[in-house]
Amino acid sequence: MNNINSETIDKVFTRLNKYAESNGYFLNPDDIFTKDLIKSLLINQKRYGYWACPCRLATGNRDKDSDIICPCIYRDPDVKEYGTCYCALYVSQEIKDGKKQAKPIPERRPIKK
């Protein structure tokens, strides 16, 4: 799992950046932080077969984890209310421009038993 190189991460970063901006979002302006999150997504891709949110515990069952596959279903309400998604990969214009500071946000995902 450690064979994810910086070239791969950079390619995904570029692709995600275009995707984010075409959907009204931005990637976190801290490139090092963002690329670490991307590396974690790629590790989860190898581990589970899908991009489980790196900031949440995945089960390895795609159906059970469908709500936390990046971009998760919580991204839109989190960015709208707090300016970032839970893991802070996606941010609002205000966060990107430094006009608003990112803050911890509460977990919206219900506890599954």
| pLDDT tens, position by position, 42-73 | 999 999 999 999 999 999 999 999 999 999 99
CB atoms inside a 10 Å sphere around CB 105 = 18
Helices and strands, number each (H, E), in the chain: 4, 2
Per-residue pLDDT tens for 8-47? 999 999 999 999 999 999 999 999 999 999 999 999 999 9
Residue 90 host element (H or E) = strand 90-91
The model's pTM: 0.91
CB atoms inside a 10 Å sphere around CB 71 = 19
